[in-house]
Amino acid sequence: MSTPAANLVDLRSDTFTKPTPAMRRAMAEAEVGDDVYLEDPTVNRLEKRAAEIFRKEAALFVPTGCMGNLIAIKVWTHHGDEVICEERSHVNLYELASMSAIAGAMPRIARADDGILTWKKIEAVIRPKIYYDSQTALVCLENTHNMAGGTLYPTAQVNDICAKAHAVKLKVHLDGARIFNAAVALGESVADMTRNLDSVMFCLSKGLGAPVGSMLVGSQEFIDKARIYRKMFGGGMRQTGVLAAAGLIALEESPKRLHEDHANAKYLAREIATIPNLVLDASTVETNIVIFDCERTGLNAVEFCEALQPHDILALDTALYSVRFVTHCDVDRAGCERAIHVTREVASKTRRAGA
Ligand SMILES: *Cc1c(COP(=O)(O)O)cnc(C)c1O
């Protein structure tokens, strides 16, 4: 795709969002310095604001969400420790096994159909304190849960997990790539939602629309260690203020419009649920991710996405028969209506149509 079509509806991911004109202006005008020496005023402002918004002691700008999660896992574990995470979580499936390859930790899988772990599921996979067993060090939650379709943790459930994990000396990290989507859907503040978590990673570059960057938030002690590992992993950047300037706008302004993405996702879900041969429980869609099953069309998910593409509708396959639509600031209601029109056509003209 060298030149995208004017009416392209890109539902592959909220990572495809482009910086707004206000972000580009702020980037051009950003005051900068060498952030490895803590001298970039714009990065310092972004880190201060992120810490304030989450009511944590400190924050750190990191190049990617993957590096943020890896840094947190590295801080909270020793080589040979286990990290409890959900089977389809991002840290387990989409981070190149960095927790093992780099941090030396092992994922220990818990499974929840909706991606949302309970203490009962976590407790069942904690290793006994026996010297010849590897030891559990960390629980990693994902809110919203990407591969389960943007599902949410009720805050009381997060608090319950944190209290019980802390009682047995485990740390709890949140992969909150889309924590602001969760906050908008729940009508709660990210500070209240994450109060008892030991560390949180969130992305500026997803639904918040910044071109680059994620944040870690936590205690000053955690962030001091995180800064060392960021440098060790090659993420100590210099005049990063040009990126942080866009991040500041993403952080302050973008959460205000996420409800539009959720309304569009609910619209997509309601319509998809009425399309013969596509399977989706629309009531499970609460944020900006819609995942439906296309097996009955006779196409697999790759083939289904390929059939949408000539109509300038882009989607991603997330499993053999699972297709994902993600709404974001660069897709409007008219685009979603066109996506539904095309999806309906594709689903009705498949191999087994009329069979
Ligand atoms: C995108 C994503 C990440 C990592 O983000 P990158 O910036 O692409 O490294 C982590 N967790 C979840 C749930 C994500 O969706």
Does ligand 1 have an atom closer than 6 angstroms to the CB of 142?
yes
Fill in the amino acid letter for 200.
V
CA distance 231 to 184: 33
Tally of CB atoms within 10 A around 231: 12
CATH architecture of 21-253: 3-Layer(aba) Sandwich (3.40)
What is the SS3 string spanning the chain? CCCCCCCCEECCCHHHCCCCHHHHHHHHHCCCCCHHHCCCHHHHHHHHHHHHHHCCCEEEEECCHHHHHHHHHHHHCCCCCEEEEECCCHHHHCCCCHHHHCCCCEEEEECCCCCCCCHHHHHCCCCCCCCCCCCEEEEEEECCECCCCCECCCHHHHHHHHHHHHHCCCEEEEECCCHHHHHHHHCCCHHHHCCCCCEEEEECCCCCCCCCCEEEEECHHHHHHHHHHHHHCCCCCCCCHHHHHHHHHHHHHHHHHHHHHHHHHHHHHHHHCCCCCCECCHHHCCCCEEEEECHHHCCCHHHHHHHHHHHCEECEEEECCEEEEECCCCCCHHHHHHHHHHHHHHHHCCCCCCC
Ligand 1 center to 105 CA (angstroms): 19
Which part of the chain is CATH 3.90.1150.10? 9-16+257-348
pLDDT tens profile 146-201: 999 999 999 999 999 999 999 999 999 999 999 999 999 999 999 999 999 999 99
Ligand 1 nearest-atom number relative to CA 175:
11
CA of 180 to the centre of ligand 1 (A): 14
In sequence order, what are the residues at sequence separation of 6 or more whose Cβ sits closer than 8 angstroms to the Cβ of residue 337?
Answer: none
Decide whether any atom of ligand 1 lies within 6 Å of the 68 Cβ: no
Ligand 1, atom 5, lies closest to the CA of 65
| CB of 203 shorter than 6 A to ligand 1 | yes
pLDDT, tens digit (0-9, with 9 covering 90-100), for 42-85: 999 999 999 999 999 999 999 999 999 999 999 999 999 999 99
| pLDDT at 355 (0 to 100) | 47
Q: What is the pLDDT of residue 352?
A: 57
Predicted confidence at residue 207, as pLDDT, reads 97
What's the 350 CA to ligand 1 centre distance in angstroms?
33
Q: Give residue 337 CA to ligand 1 midpoint distance, Å.
A: 27
Q: State the Cα–Cα distance between residues 149 and 107, nearest whole angstrom.
A: 22
CB 205 near ligand 1, within 6 Å: yes
Ligand 1 centre and the CA of 210: distance in Å? 13
Distance 230 CA to ligand 1 centre (A): 16
> What CATH code is assigned to 9-16+257-348?
3.90.1150.10
Looking at the chain, the domain(s) classified CATH 3.40.640.10 span 21-253
Task: Return the ligand 1 atom nearest residue 146 CA.
Answer: 13
Q: How far apart are CA 128 and CA 138, in angstroms?
A: 14
Token pair listed for 132: 């010849």
The predicted pLDDT at position 208 comes to: 98
The pair phi, psi for residue 186, each rounded to 5°, is -85, -20
**What does the angle CA 219 – CA 221 – CA 227 come to, to the nearest 5 degrees?**
100
CA of 90 to the centre of ligand 1 (A): 7
Residue segments in the chain with a per-residue pLDDT below the cut of 70: 1-4, 351-355
Q: Give the residue whose CA is nearest to atom 6 of ligand 1.
A: 65
Ligand 1 near 145 CB (within 6 A): no
Residue type, position 62, single letter: V
Candidates 71, 206, 233: which one to mutate for ligand 1, based on the most atoms within 8 Å of Cβ?
206
pLDDT at 349: 84
Give the whole-angstrom CA distance, residue 240 versus residue 33: 8
Which residue has its alpha carbon closest to ligand 1 atom 3? Answer: 65
**Which protein residue has the closest C-alpha to ligand 1 atom 4?**
65
User: What is the distance in A from the centroid of ligand 1 to the CA of 128?
Assistant: 31
pLDDT of residue 325: 98
Residue 32 C-alpha from the chain's centroid: 28
Provide the residue type at 48 as one letter.
Answer: K
Residue 136 burial (10 A CB sphere; 0-12, 13-18, 19+): buried
